[in-house]
Amino acid sequence: MIGKPDLDEKLLQKLVKALDDYGLTEIEVGEGRHRLRISRAHTAAPAAAAPAPAVVAAQPVAGAAPASEDAAKAHPGAVTSPMVGTVYIAPEPGAAPFVKVGDMVKVGDPLLLIEAMKTMNPIRAPRAGKITQVLVTNAAPVEYGEVLLIIE
Protein backbone atom coordinates (compact mmCIF):
# COMPACT_ATOMS: atom_id res chain seq x y z
CA MET A 1 0.00 0.00 0.00
CA ILE A 2 1.31 3.43 -0.89
CA GLY A 3 1.61 5.81 2.04
CA LYS A 4 0.19 9.31 2.01
CA PRO A 5 2.94 11.92 1.48
CA ASP A 6 3.46 14.80 3.89
CA LEU A 7 2.30 18.05 2.28
CA ASP A 8 4.87 20.83 2.55
CA GLU A 9 2.71 23.94 2.94
CA LYS A 10 5.58 26.31 2.05
CA LEU A 11 6.10 24.42 -1.21
CA LEU A 12 2.36 24.58 -1.91
CA GLN A 13 2.36 28.37 -1.35
CA LYS A 14 5.38 28.77 -3.66
CA LEU A 15 3.65 26.75 -6.38
CA VAL A 16 0.44 28.78 -6.14
CA LYS A 17 2.50 32.00 -6.27
CA ALA A 18 4.33 30.67 -9.36
CA LEU A 19 0.95 30.27 -11.10
CA ASP A 20 0.31 33.99 -10.59
CA ASP A 21 3.86 35.24 -11.19
CA TYR A 22 4.36 33.42 -14.48
CA GLY A 23 0.81 33.37 -15.80
CA LEU A 24 0.65 29.58 -15.63
CA THR A 25 -2.60 27.64 -15.71
CA GLU A 26 -1.15 24.42 -14.32
CA ILE A 27 1.94 23.20 -12.50
CA GLU A 28 2.98 19.69 -11.46
CA VAL A 29 5.77 18.47 -9.18
CA GLY A 30 6.68 15.01 -8.05
CA GLU A 31 8.95 12.96 -5.87
CA GLY A 32 9.17 9.23 -6.29
CA ARG A 33 5.69 7.86 -6.93
CA HIS A 34 3.96 10.93 -5.46
CA ARG A 35 2.82 13.79 -7.68
CA LEU A 36 1.07 17.07 -6.90
CA ARG A 37 -0.72 18.97 -9.65
CA ILE A 38 -2.24 22.42 -9.15
CA SER A 39 -4.38 24.00 -11.84
CA ARG A 40 -6.55 27.06 -12.16
CA ALA A 41 -10.30 26.78 -12.58
CA HIS A 42 -11.48 27.75 -16.04
CA THR A 43 -13.69 30.82 -16.40
CA ALA A 44 -15.91 29.22 -19.06
CA ALA A 45 -19.63 28.73 -18.47
CA PRO A 46 -20.36 25.84 -16.10
CA ALA A 47 -20.56 22.45 -17.79
CA ALA A 48 -23.24 19.85 -17.17
CA ALA A 49 -20.81 17.79 -15.12
CA ALA A 50 -19.23 19.24 -12.00
CA PRO A 51 -15.77 20.68 -12.73
CA ALA A 52 -12.73 19.30 -10.95
CA PRO A 53 -11.77 21.34 -7.89
CA ALA A 54 -8.92 23.80 -8.30
CA VAL A 55 -6.46 25.11 -5.75
CA VAL A 56 -6.87 28.75 -6.79
CA ALA A 57 -9.55 30.72 -8.61
CA ALA A 58 -8.96 31.78 -12.18
CA GLN A 59 -7.59 35.24 -12.78
CA PRO A 60 -6.89 36.95 -16.08
CA VAL A 61 -3.25 36.71 -17.15
CA ALA A 62 -2.94 40.37 -17.95
CA GLY A 63 -4.98 43.29 -19.23
CA ALA A 64 -8.63 43.38 -20.19
CA ALA A 65 -9.69 40.89 -22.83
CA PRO A 66 -10.83 42.35 -26.15
CA ALA A 67 -14.49 42.06 -27.11
CA SER A 68 -13.68 39.41 -29.70
CA GLU A 69 -10.84 37.73 -31.54
CA ASP A 70 -11.72 39.83 -34.60
CA ALA A 71 -11.45 43.03 -32.55
CA ALA A 72 -8.02 41.97 -31.29
CA LYS A 73 -6.84 41.11 -34.82
CA ALA A 74 -8.08 44.47 -36.09
CA HIS A 75 -6.14 46.38 -33.43
CA PRO A 76 -3.19 48.19 -35.05
CA GLY A 77 -0.85 47.06 -32.26
CA ALA A 78 -1.79 43.37 -32.39
CA VAL A 79 1.21 41.02 -32.45
CA THR A 80 0.18 37.74 -34.07
CA SER A 81 1.78 34.33 -34.12
CA PRO A 82 3.80 33.69 -37.27
CA MET A 83 3.50 29.91 -36.78
CA VAL A 84 1.74 27.05 -35.05
CA GLY A 85 3.44 25.98 -31.84
CA THR A 86 3.64 26.37 -28.08
CA VAL A 87 4.10 29.86 -26.66
CA TYR A 88 6.37 30.60 -23.69
CA ILE A 89 6.31 33.92 -21.85
CA ALA A 90 9.74 33.53 -20.23
CA PRO A 91 13.16 32.46 -21.54
CA GLU A 92 13.25 29.42 -19.22
CA PRO A 93 11.17 27.87 -16.43
CA GLY A 94 11.31 29.96 -13.26
CA ALA A 95 12.59 33.08 -15.06
CA ALA A 96 10.78 36.40 -15.19
CA PRO A 97 8.52 36.88 -18.22
CA PHE A 98 9.97 38.73 -21.21
CA VAL A 99 7.23 41.38 -20.93
CA LYS A 100 4.14 42.11 -18.86
CA VAL A 101 1.30 44.61 -19.09
CA GLY A 102 2.61 48.14 -18.65
CA ASP A 103 6.13 47.42 -19.94
CA MET A 104 7.56 49.72 -22.61
CA VAL A 105 9.23 47.96 -25.54
CA LYS A 106 11.40 49.04 -28.47
CA VAL A 107 11.41 47.59 -31.96
CA GLY A 108 13.19 44.23 -31.84
CA ASP A 109 12.80 43.60 -28.09
CA PRO A 110 12.00 39.95 -27.29
CA LEU A 111 8.33 39.45 -26.36
CA LEU A 112 7.77 35.68 -26.30
CA LEU A 113 9.13 32.36 -27.55
CA ILE A 114 7.23 29.95 -29.75
CA GLU A 115 8.42 26.37 -29.86
CA ALA A 116 7.76 24.71 -33.20
CA MET A 117 9.31 21.40 -34.23
CA LYS A 118 11.60 21.44 -31.16
CA THR A 119 13.00 24.84 -32.16
CA MET A 120 12.60 27.95 -30.00
CA ASN A 121 11.63 30.93 -32.15
CA PRO A 122 11.84 34.39 -30.56
CA ILE A 123 8.92 36.72 -31.24
CA ARG A 124 10.22 40.29 -31.31
CA ALA A 125 8.42 43.62 -31.02
CA PRO A 126 7.46 44.86 -34.48
CA ARG A 127 6.95 48.37 -33.09
CA ALA A 128 7.78 50.45 -30.06
CA GLY A 129 5.14 51.12 -27.42
CA LYS A 130 3.50 49.95 -24.23
CA ILE A 131 2.25 46.40 -23.66
CA THR A 132 -1.46 46.82 -22.91
CA GLN A 133 -2.66 43.22 -23.15
CA VAL A 134 -1.10 39.76 -23.02
CA LEU A 135 -3.63 37.37 -24.53
CA VAL A 136 -1.77 34.06 -24.12
CA THR A 137 -0.75 31.94 -21.16
CA ASN A 138 2.54 30.18 -20.70
CA ALA A 139 2.94 26.81 -22.47
CA ALA A 140 -0.34 27.25 -24.37
CA PRO A 141 -0.73 26.06 -27.95
CA VAL A 142 -1.06 28.86 -30.51
CA GLU A 143 -2.22 28.90 -34.11
CA TYR A 144 -0.88 30.85 -37.08
CA GLY A 145 -2.30 34.40 -36.97
CA GLU A 146 -3.54 34.15 -33.36
CA VAL A 147 -3.17 37.43 -31.45
CA LEU A 148 -0.51 37.02 -28.76
CA LEU A 149 -0.40 40.52 -27.27
CA ILE A 150 -1.19 44.16 -27.98
CA ILE A 151 1.34 47.01 -28.12
CA GLU A 152 -0.05 50.56 -28.08
pLDDT digit string, tens, across residues 17-48:
776 776 667 777 777 666 777 766 544 444 44
9 and 34 belong to one structural domain? yes
74 and 147 belong to one structural domain? yes
80 and 139 belong to one structural domain? yes
Instruction: Give the domain range for residue 73.
Output: 69-151
Pick from 53, 141, 64, 58: nearest CA to 101 = 64
Q: What percent of the chain has pLDDT over 90?
A: 46
Among the three residues 13, 31, 59, which one is the final residue of a domain in this structure? 59
Q: How many domains does one find in the chain?
A: 2
In a domain, residue 64? The reply is: no
55 and 100 belong to one structural domain? no
The bridge status of strand 110-116 relative to strand 119-124 is antiparallel
Q: Which residues contact 110 (CB under 8 A, 6 or more apart)?
A: 91, 98, 122, 123, 124, 125
53 and 94 belong to one structural domain? no
44 and 77 belong to one structural domain? no
Distance CA 111, CA 56 (A): 27
* pLDDT (0 to 100) of residue 86: 95
Q: What pTM does this model have? A: 0.55
23 and 54 belong to one structural domain? yes
Give the pLDDT mean for 138-151.
Answer: 94
Range in 31-35, 43-47, 79-83, 137-141 the model is least confident about: 43-47
147 and 76 belong to one structural domain? yes
* pLDDT (0 to 100) of residue 147: 93
138 and 77 belong to one structural domain? yes
Residue 11 has pLDDT above 80, yes or no: no
Q: What percent of the chain has pLDDT over 70?
A: 67
In a domain, residue 53? The reply is: yes
- The CATH number for 126's domain is 2.40.50.100
Give the pLDDT mean for 6-12.
Answer: 72
* pLDDT (0 to 100) of residue 68: 59
26 and 55 belong to one structural domain? yes
